[in-house]
Amino acid sequence: MKINQLKQEVYRLTFTKNTQQLKSNRAELTTGKDLRCKNSWLSIYSTFKLVDDFQQSLVAQDAIAKHGFKLLNSDSSFADLLNNVGSLGSFCDSLESDINLLEKKYGEK
């Protein structure tokens, strides 16, 4: 990946728009790094990806535990399939409720 692509990926993943904002919002990723070098960006990207993948796996485990998803494969029954459809609804409701809470907390007053 070229340095500019790496930068764009880092901005996207960290919800930042530019290097200045990245330095200010995510100092833990940039401290001590020379941001003129591609290797620094590669290191930031790799670190972030590692953390991101780990958090993603935690969310997946949490969703399975909270909403009761079952692992589906070619031996799964129709009842298992319907169970997961129900879990989708519960997951979706929970997501909507989290968004509403966030909007209430940080929305315009």
Partner 1 sequence: MSSEKTKVSDVADDLKQIYGINKNISNSLSKEQKKELLMLLENNETILNLTRSFVTKNHELAKNNRKFGKQRETAKRNLADEQGKNSELNNQVSQLKYELKELKHQLINVLDSFHEMLTRDVLKRSEIILFVEKLRDSFKP
12 phi, psi to nearest 5 deg? -65, -45
- Residue (37 or 95) nearer to partner 1, CB: 95
Q: Which of the stretches 2-10, 32-40, 75-83 binds partner 1 when contact is defined by CB under 8 A?
A: 75-83
The distance of closest approach from Cβ of residue 30 to partner 1 in the complex, given in angstroms and rounded to an integer, is 15
Q: For residue 64, what are the CA distances in angstroms to 12, 42, 45, 59, 61?
A: 27, 33, 28, 9, 5
Task: State how far the Cα of 107 lies from the Cα of 23, in Å rounded to an integer.
Answer: 26
Q: Is 50 in the site for partner 1 (CB under 8 A)?
A: no
The distance of closest approach from Cβ of residue 39 to partner 1 in the complex, given in angstroms and rounded to an integer, is 25
Q: Is 55 in the site for partner 1 (CB under 8 A)?
A: yes
Burial 16-28 (b: 16+ CB within 10 A, else e): beeeeebeeebee
- Residues within the interface to partner 1 (CB under 8 A): 15, 25, 55-56, 59-60, 63, 69, 72-74, 76, 78, 81-82, 84-89, 91-92, 94-95, 98-99, 102, 106
